[in-house]
Amino acid sequence: MPTAEKPWREVALSDTEYASILSLLGRDPTLVELGMFGAMWSEHCGYKHSRPHLRQLPTEAPWVLQGPGENAGAVDIGHGLAAVFKVESHNHPSAVEPYEGAATGVGGIVRDIFTMGARPIAILDGLRFGSLDLARNQYLFSHVVAGIGGYGNCLGIPTVGGDTAFDAKFDGNPIVNAMCVGIIPHDGIVRARASGVGNRIVLIGARTGRDGMHGATFASVEDPEASHRGVIQVGNPFLEKQLMEACLALLQTDAVVAMQDLGAAGLTSSIIECASRGGVGVDIDVTEVPRREEGMSAYEIMLSESQERMVLVCAPEHVPDVVELLGRWSLSAQDIGEITDDGMITIRERDEIACSVPVELFIDACPTYHVAATESVSQRERREAVVEVESGSAASIAEDVLTLLADPNVGSRRPIWEQYDHTILTNTVMGPGAADAAVMRVKGTEGGIAISMDCNSRYCDLDPYNGARLAVAEATRNVACVGARPLGITNCLNMGNPEREPGSWHLQESVRGIADACRELGVPVVSGNVSLYNESGGTAIQPTPMIGCVGSIADVSRAKGLSWQDGDQLTLVRTGEPTLGGSAWLAAIRGSTAGSPPAIDLAIEAQLQDLLQRMAREDGVHAIHDVSLGGIAVTIAECSQVSGSGVAINTPASLASLPRQQLWFGEVASAVLIAASAESAEEIIPACEEVGIMCDTLGTIGGDTIRFPDDSWLSVTQIRSASERALVAPTEAGNLVAN
């Protein structure tokens, strides 16, 4: 609890913000009120710096059933069903205690989904770590992956995809984002809106302890390396499994008016947000809260972030029903207060009032800041740097392919996803490594959903506006590559300090880029999260606006992956020219991050995605793979690795004038490889020409080697060997001592 001369500083409130609270209340706040204001006015809960930017995002479409403002977003996927999804961060906790930080991040996002009444069917992760040359980063990598796998596997929810990268700018400040998707009938969606004066507030699940104190404020300051070990929550996935099943059973009855999980800021945020959405007040007696530790104060109870807890609102006559049903799952349920009509948050400790504040002061009075931001001269010079390519002494195409495949940012992610159970529940049609997006069947129908998670942090570091546009395009394109129609995105904005540059500029430009891309592609933002103050030693991370996308597919049996067939014709379909700016080749071969990322024409990108969805429905089309990290040559190698077959590659005629490194390893927006039968391949060219998209025939699939135009070659065995050794297996890294 705060004890300093300026106690508001200990809950991340500035002097000006504290003065505002004094003015709003007309008195000094109590200690409990101070802690609650600190939590609700934190960046994590109050979105002080991000809210002005987030208003730009398009959030509506005819198929959107729930947009931002609830625990998760929801989109119509047909058959009277909805996909409910969201992504959230657990970066700061994971920097301190990587296993529990990652595990409780998974637990929190899963609760957001079943709180809406949806049954979770898939988890994805977005991870960033510093250089694996450092033992500390290997330790973080190992334990984060173990935490995600440990919690998700115990819950019985498959982890089916994600995005992982490494860069020295993440040294000391990893990024750990978790996304969850659930399925629910339209009429089963539950909102966290408290209503009904006299209705009871019931706390269910785990008992409350002192773990997680000040977690929301901790995530809103730039000090993850300080001694904050006490804020890290400890998760119990088996208890969460009981809680999930009990809540889903409860929501099949008419006993529950509203439901809200206890995440950041614990009981404080859950009751305030429920009350605010419903336009009501609440009155709680903290002595009724079940505790696992003796002597807990009202302050500790209200700010605890103990895991596996939920708040229900139900009519008084239904409280016994709730208690009885929860008992079947060996869970407790305790009536701790009631809904009032006075619009006040009232917290009692028996007869003593610990908090009496209007709901609106916690929500509507939260300050917002708009920090003017511009691109610095050094940033512009790095972005505008011309990438020169060598001539004469350059390595062969095959040699550079092997170098890239062995790079941690490009090679196989098998060591990660082998720790995840990605087939449990038997819904996974295409899981990790098989396709550009995970494909999940929706039982009882022929259809399903496709899910992707993408962001190129290197692009965003060089040009956050264009990098964010490219992230949205890649996430939606990957969904289109398997044959699904993108329906909505969720985003997690991982940035540095928003109070100064470059963090303020990164935030401003990233949101602007997401907004513009979503409008052009017709894909709304239905949920999201912001994680700011991601800095270590005063240096901001690479800005990482992680994009999760969900799309619907009419027939999962027609979903397209990376595996081509002998005799297929390989075609390059693209709308732009490869560039080495910000490329994986430049980073791995030259050790440099410079130049402009690929340009993108979003109008043509939209045409390409429509075309890919149509092509994926053709029986003669066997594989579709997005050209991304490592360019055309690495994309070909990845298909070969999955398929076990090679191809003799021709130089694409439309790119023949480019330098060899740029042609084969330059990265290009809006480009895919399509492997199809000769008959189907003949239909690709006119279909592309009709919408103004270029295409080149690259060769015929067959044999066990890839032969490049410079007469260098690689066997499938060499490709697999290089790719599989790119990452230190997390289980091996876990044997290293953290330092």
The residues assigned a catalytic role are 44, 90
286: closest CA among 385, 353, 211? 353
Q: Do residues 265 and 305 lie in contact, with contact meaning Cβ atoms separated by under 8 Å?
A: yes
The phi and psi torsions of 595 (rounded to 5 degrees) equal 90, 170
DSSP 8-state class, residue 146: H
Tell me the backbone φ, ψ of residue 171, rounded to 5 degrees: -55, 125
Q: For residues 306 and 208, is the Cβ–Cβ distance under 8 A?
A: yes
Q: Say how far apart CA 5 and CA 228 lie, in whole Å.
A: 20
Q: Report the C-alpha gap between 602 and 539 in whole angstroms.
A: 32
Residues 6+ apart with CB under 8 A from 213: 230, 231, 300, 303, 304, 305
Q: What is the DSSP letter of 318?
A: G
Nearest to 705, CA basis, from 641, 632, 647:
647
**Other Cβ atoms within 10 Å of 317 Cβ, number:** 9
Cα–Cα nearest to 730, from 149, 170, 125: 149
Name the DSSP letter for residue 394: P
Q: Which amino acid is at 530?
A: V
d(CA 739, CA 735): 12
DSSP assignment string, 45-84? HH-TTTHHHHTTS----TTEEE-BTBSSEEEEEETTEEEE
Q: Is 476 helix (H, G, I), strand (E, B) or coil?
A: helix
Using H for helix, E for strand and C for coil, what is the string for 607-651? HHHHHHHHHHCCCCEEEEEECCCCHHHHHHHHHHHHHCCCEECCC
Q: Closest Cα to residue 273, out of 363, 212, 339?
A: 363
- The Cα–Cα gap between 108 and 104 comes to 6
Write down the H helix ranges in 482-596: 503-521, 584-585
H helices of 307-363, in order, are: 319-328, 359-363
Burial class (CB in 10 A: 0-12, 13-18, 19+), 373: middle
- Cα–Cα distance between 37 and 32 in angstroms, integer? 9
Q: Do the beta carbons of residue 383 and residue 338 sit within 8 Å?
A: no
Reference 667, options 488, 458, 508, 445; nearest CA is: 458
CA-to-CA distance for 326 and 247, rounded, in angstroms?
Answer: 8
* Phi-psi category of residue 487: left, alpha or beta, with phi > 0 → left and psi -120 to 50 → alpha: alpha
**From its phi and psi, is residue 154 left (phi > 0), alpha (psi between -120 and 50) or beta?**
alpha
User: What are the backbone angles phi and psi of residue 505, rounded to the nearest 5°?
Assistant: -70, -40
Write the DSSP symbol of residue 590. I
Cα–Cα–Cα angle for 608, 486, 152, rounded to 5 degrees: 130
Given a contact cutoff of 8 angstroms between Cβ atoms, the answer to whether 158 and 123 are in contact is yes
Three-state DSSP state, 559: coil
Contact 662/579 with Cβ under 8 angstroms? yes
CA 206 to chain centre: 26
